[in-house]
Amino acid sequence: MAEKGTIIVTGGSRGIGAAIAIALAELGHTVACLSRRGELPAVQGASAEALARCHGFTCDVTSGDSLRDAFAEAAKLGGPIVGLVNNAGVHLEGPSTSFSREDYETVFATNTTSVFMSCQHIYPHLVASGGGLIINIGSFFDKLGVKRNLAYCASKAAVGAITRCLAVEWAGKGIRVIDVAPGYITTDLNKEAMSAGPLREYLEKRIPGRIPGTSEDVAKLVKALFLTDALFLSGETIYIDGAQGVAH
Ligand code: NDP
């Protein structure tokens, strides 16, 4: 298990990131939750103890200055910095023929460039702590061709590549880097579409496992990765998609 310390979770206020923040706080870590609104994780049923270990910081991950300032503030929470979860992300879609360059760049700035910059910011802290764990939240779309999703698919494939390169480059410093790639996960934003109608019918046909996936499913996996002492595990993409990605 990682030494108790501070873990930074981008997009830690809602959805998957909020569930991850609470799960890591339950392990006894201090959790810095970065989001544009700087809110604490919104998770129903979260214990007061876990919430007390979470701290909200205002940060736009698309801005290098904003990330640098938020990481500096998080470092003041005390204790060693032992991990980072790059979770903040945006999903914009549209036909490739008319998808705007502006939207393309928003997707890459939020989903991909922010991962590179956050990893650069966390590096000196993890080296000072003697190593640590970086989890990048990708997507099972990283290996698929999905209509109307060129930018999103490409941005998440690049997250896998960043994960592999840093895992190799920083292994000598005791830093492990893992890409956790979810399939369809219910969050507040999509729960109506996931529970009935055409999307639900599609998911029932395509996902062999229990559906829908939940933010807590992803949080449990991230928690397990912070708990395990299988230090040989690094550089991989771990899919959590109810077996959809391997179904034929
Ligand atoms: P949500 O939209 O529910 O939450 C996004 C979180 O990121 C919020 O906390 C939001 O807070 C924050 N955020 C968004 N943009 C920025 C920004 N520019 N700077 C800082 N924080 C930001 O997303 P999900 O929980 O659904 O997704 C989380 C991650 O999981 C994403 O990377 C997504 O691509 C990935 N994923 C999701 C799947 C799903 O089915 N839900 C499937 C596969 C992958 P605020 O608005 O205050 O900034």
Cis peptide leading into 212, omega within 30 of 0? yes
pLDDT recorded at residue 190: 87
Span from the CA of 8 to the centroid of ligand 1 (angstroms)? 15
Return d(Cα 168, Cα 175) in angstroms, integer. 9
What tokens appear for 54 in the block? 């979470």
Mutate to test the pocket of ligand 1, among 8, 16, 113 (most ligand atoms within 8 A of CB): 16
CB 17 within 8 A of CB 85: yes
237 CB under 6 A from ligand 1?
Answer: no
Span from the CA of 16 to the centroid of ligand 1 (angstroms)? 7
Q: Specify the residue with its C-alpha closest to ligand 1, atom 31.
A: 89
Ligand 1 atom nearest residue 36's Cα: 48
Return d(Cα 34, Cα 61) in angstroms, integer. 8
Contacts of 65 (CB under 8 A, 6+ apart): none
Mutate to test the pocket of ligand 1, among 14, 59, 112 (most ligand atoms within 8 A of CB): 14
14 CB under 6 A from ligand 1?
Answer: yes
Contacts of 239 (CB under 8 A, 6+ apart): 140, 181, 182, 183, 245, 246
pLDDT recorded at residue 193: 85
Q: Is 82 helix (H, G, I), strand (E, B) or coil?
A: strand
23 CB under 6 A from ligand 1?
Answer: no
184 CB under 6 A from ligand 1?
Answer: yes
Per-residue DSSP letter, 7? E
26 CB under 6 A from ligand 1?
Answer: no
35 CB under 6 A from ligand 1?
Answer: yes
The ipTM, to two decimals, is 0.99
Q: What is the CA radius of gyration of the chain?
A: 17
Tokens 């994960």 locate to 163
Q: Which residues pair with 84 in a beta bridge?
A: 8, 134
pLDDT recorded at residue 1: 61
User: Would you name the residues annotated as active-site residues?
Assistant: 152
Tokens 């998770």 locate to 43
Per-residue model confidence as pLDDT tens for the chain (248 residues): 668 999 999 999 999 999 999 999 999 999 999 999 999 999 999 999 999 999 999 999 999 999 999 999 999 998 899 999 999 999 999 999 999 999 999 999 999 999 999 999 999 999 999 999 999 999 999 999 999 999 999 999 999 999 999 999 999 999 999 999 999 999 877 888 899 999 999 999 999 988 889 999 999 999 999 999 899 999 999 999 999 999 98
Ligand 1 atom nearest residue 88's Cα: 7
- Residue 89 is which amino acid? G
Per-residue DSSP letter, 3? P
CB 109 within 8 A of CB 142: no
Q: Is 222 helix (H, G, I), strand (E, B) or coil?
A: helix
For the chain, which domains are there?
6-240 (3.40.50.720)
C-alpha distances in Å from residue 46, one per residue of 190, 214, 224 = 21, 15, 18
pLDDT recorded at residue 2: 65
Q: Is 112 helix (H, G, I), strand (E, B) or coil?
A: helix
185 CB under 6 A from ligand 1?
Answer: yes
Pure H helices in the chain: 15-26, 48-52, 64-75, 101-108, 114-128, 150-169, 191-195, 198-206, 215-227
